[in-house]
Structure 1
Amino acid sequence: MKKIKGIIDRFEEGFAVIEIQGGTKDCPKDIFPKDTQVGDVVYITGNQVEIDKSETKKLAKEIEDLMNEVWED
């Protein structure tokens, strides 16, 4: 079974909206670990989801660096 990498965009009425390669996909929220948060990098294989905490931290740092660059005085 194929492993899909995505980023949690938001939660809506029992679904997690996942950004995958520029598009989005709705997945049932109940397949995600309870501690899943918006912005988490996840790998989905069928109904199994794992959160990649190190990739999530790396992505958050990249976004923070870009924001600091854009908003420099």
Structure 2
Amino acid sequence: MEHGVIDRFEGELAVIEIAGTTCDFRRSDLPSEAKPGDAVVVENGIVRLDERGTQERKNDIDRLMDELFE
């Protein structure tokens, strides 16, 4: 099982960053609601959204932005 983040979509491809490396997946293999910035779990070639991971990333980014603009 690997954890990653959707970096971007390029046509029919989804570019996912996993452990500092980008990997391409067919966009159709991701859940339809997937968007750039979402955390994902990849296991046996199956990509699923990690809602908890996505929320944790959002919270971290919000905290960093608050610190930056204090």
Q: TM-score, normalised by structure 2?
A: 0.89
Give 3-state SS (helix, strand or coil) of 1:34's partner.
coil
Deviates more, 1:30-39 or 1:42-51: 42-51
Paired residues, number: 70
Deviations 1:5-42 (A, max 9, x none): 10011111111111111121111111000001111110
**Where does the alignment leave 5 or more consecutive residues of structure 1 unmatched?**
none
Provide the alpha-carbon RMSD of the alignment.
1.1
8 Å Cα contact 1:31-1:47 kept in structure 2: no
Give 3-state SS (helix, strand or coil) of 2:35's partner.
coil
Deviations 1:44-63 (A, max 9, x none): 12331111111110111001
Q: Detail structure 1 runs of 4+ shifted over 6 Å in the superposition.
A: none
2:14 — aligned with what?
Answer: 16
Q: In the alignment, which of 38, 41, 53 is matched to residue 40 of structure 1?
A: 38
Q: TM-score, normalised by structure 1?
A: 0.86
